[in-house]
Amino acid sequence: MYARYFDRLQNYFTIVNEGLRKENYFFKWRYVLPFSAVLWLYLFLGSNIKAVAIVSVLAVAASYSTIYKRVVRVPSAIELVTLGTVVTSIAYGPLVGAIFGVLTTIASEIISSAVDMFTMVYAFARGVIGATAFFLAGMNIVLLGVLMVLLFNLICQPVYMLPGDLETKIKALYYFVISISFNLLAFFLLGGILLSIAV
C-alpha cells in the first residue's frame, strides 16, 4: 500500500526535477530564489546594512551548498544551511532564524534539482532548528550545531524511513553519519567566526 503511494509521489517529483534540470529554468531560478530569501529577511532586519549583508552572504552560501546534487545524486548531507540557520537565529532572533532555515532549504532543493516529497519536511525541520537555536544560544557553538543536526534528523528521519526498504535505510544512515561529521567540522571551523561577525 505505502509502496504504491510513494512510487506515485516519486514519479511526480521526478517530472518536477526534470523541469528543474533544464538550463533555462535553472538560470532563471538560481538568481531569483536567493534574492527572494534575502528580500524577505530584509523586512525583518530593517535597515541594518551589516545584518542584511551577512544574512545575504549566508543565504547564498546555504542555497548553493548542495548544488553538487545536480551531478551526484546523493543525499545532501554536506550543506551549509544548518550552519547559516543557527548563526542567523542566534544573531537576529528565532523568527529570522526560522524563516532563513525554511527559505534556504527550499532554495537549495530547487537549485540542486532535488525537490521531492520530503522537501517540505526538510524545510519544516530547518524552521524548527532556526527557532530553537536562539533559545540555546548560551551553549558552545559546536555543541549547539551538533544538537541542531540531531534535532533535524529526529524530525526528518522517521518520515524519511516510512517506505522502509533497505535502500532507504542505507541512505538514512549515510545521511546521518555524514551530516553529523560535516557539521561538526563546519561549526568548529566557521561557527565562532561567523557568529562573532554577525553579532
d(CA 25, CA 27): 6
Q: What confidence tens digit (pLDDT) does each residue in 24-82 have?
A: 444 555 666 666 666 766 666 666 778 888 888 898 899 899 888 878 777 778 999 99
At 17-34, the pLDDT tens digits run 565 555 544 455 566 666
Using CA atoms, how far apart are residues 165 and 87, in angstroms rounded to an integer? 36
Report pLDDT digits (tens) over 158-185.
Answer: 887 776 777 778 888 888 999 999 999 9
At 151, is the pLDDT very low, low, confident or very high (cuts 50, 70, 90)?
very high
Residue carrying C-alpha cell 561557527: 191
| Residue ranges of domains in the chain | 2-198
Q: For residue range 153-163, what is the model confidence (pLDDT) as tens digits?
A: 999 988 877 76
HEC profile of 100-124: HHHHHHHHHHHHCCCCCCCHHHHHH
Look up the CATH architecture of domain 2-198.
Orthogonal Bundle (1.10)
CB-based contact 34:105 (threshold 8 Å):
no
Burial of 22 (0-12, 13-18, 19+ CB in 10 A): exposed
Look up the pTM and report it. 0.80
